[in-house]
Amino acid sequence: MRVVAEYGRDDLAKVYVAQMREEETDDTKKGKHLVEFVESLQPPNPRDKKWVLIVSSMFGCPVKCKMCDAGGNYSGKMTAEEIVSQIDFVVRRRYPDRKIPSSKFKVQFARMGEPTLNPAVLDALRMLPEVFDAPGLYASLSTVAPSGGGAREFLEKLIDVKNDCYPNGRFQLQFSIHTTDEAKRDEMIPAKKLSLEEVAAFAERFVDLGAGDKKITLNFAPAEGYPIDVSVIRKHFNPAKFIIKLTPLNPTVRSKEESLKSIIDPKIDDPSRGLVDKFRKSGYDVILSIGELEENRIGSNCGQFIQRAVDAEKRPHESYELDRYCVNND
């Protein structure tokens, strides 16, 4: 792996672009094995308090979610070693001996690729506690819940990985749902997916509250025209095993091209427009996840993807200020 560019700030977030494999001589294949990964802090927490790495699991992504810049240009799955090498690069830059003092060192599988479509992610998850001396290690996996391509089998095997390697609440599973309208969900996430009933049934096997497991996160990036009916969520999902996360629709190239408009505006006093209260009244714990707006300019937020921004003729307002942040481009 060779890092060819990096963007961002040490005190907030950095995105790394790396050449993972040698390219073929055919010019049409150029860039097929470029990957991106992220490290971030949550000010005012220092790195030894909380440090988050966000890694890729595929070269591109076959799902092509409507708001995500990482979709498309799919060129295959990464090996477990390639996945871990992203983490190892960032770790050894900060801690050459691989001893990580952070109270919470969180590795998220959420940059490029749908992780449940790559069995090597399971192997990588098992490798992490062996490769790194990190008492504060946590793992997180975000999925749109595909139903084909081996994803069902992946989720079943993930139960054992969680129990064996990440006990006592050290694993966070997130299902990105975005809307309760099934037709609109298909439009937003154009792939065959588990139904809401199937996701809820899986939770009954995955979450063991008696063993200290974390609740599963149901993630929504509310957009105009993509309804969220709290009663539908309450019908299927037990608040004892699920937590709700609401996040702004980040300013990606794809969301601009698709004319998607976020319901949550972090600049106004009531960015949730009552959604938080509705979910809480239905018994759910709710996270209103609004990060630093500077991360949009760095390109480190969910759904952002620097390689698409570089090629785009126009970028969304207040995002991807790559000329400002590029510190190395060989």
Q: Which of 67, 65, 66, 69 lies closest to 15 in space, CA to CA?
A: 69
Q: Which amino acid is at 306?
A: I
Structure-token match 């969910």, residue found = 302
What pLDDT, on a 0 to 100 scale, did the predictor assign at position 330?
44
**Whether the predicted pLDDT of 44 surpasses 50:** yes
DSSP H helices in the chain: 80-94, 120-131, 151-165, 182-188, 196-206, 230-236, 253-257, 275-281, 294-298, 306-311, 322-325
Q: How many domains does the chain have?
A: 1
Write phi, then psi, for 156 (nearest 5 degrees).
Answer: -65, -40
- Check which CATH number belongs to the domain holding 204 and give it: 3.20.20.70
Q: Roughly what angle, to the nearest 10 degrees, separates helices 80-94 and 120-131?
A: 30
Q: What span, in angstroms and rounded, lies between the C-alpha atoms of 300 and 327?
A: 15
Predicted confidence band of residue 327 (pLDDT cuts 50, 70, 90) = low
**Whether the predicted pLDDT of 30 surpasses 50:** yes
**Whether the predicted pLDDT of 25 surpasses 60:** no
Q: Are 198 and 151 in contact (CB under 8 A)?
A: no
Which residue range forms the structural domain that includes residue 6? Answer: 2-329
Of 37-51, 149-163, 294-308, least confident by mean pLDDT is: 294-308
What pLDDT, on a 0 to 100 scale, did the predictor assign at position 79?
98
**Whether the predicted pLDDT of 319 surpasses 90:** no
Q: Which of 161, 88, 98, 174 lies closest to 126 in space, CA to CA?
A: 161
pLDDT tens profile 124-182: 999 999 999 999 999 999 999 999 999 999 999 999 999 999 999 999 999 999 999 99
Q: Are 301 and 69 in contact (CB under 8 A)?
A: no
Q: What span, in angstroms and rounded, lies between the C-alpha atoms of 115 and 242?
A: 20
The burial of 251, by beta-carbon neighbours within 10 Å (0-12 exposed, 13-18 middle, 19 or more buried), is given as: buried
What pLDDT, on a 0 to 100 scale, did the predictor assign at position 318?
75
Predicted confidence band of residue 329 (pLDDT cuts 50, 70, 90) = very low
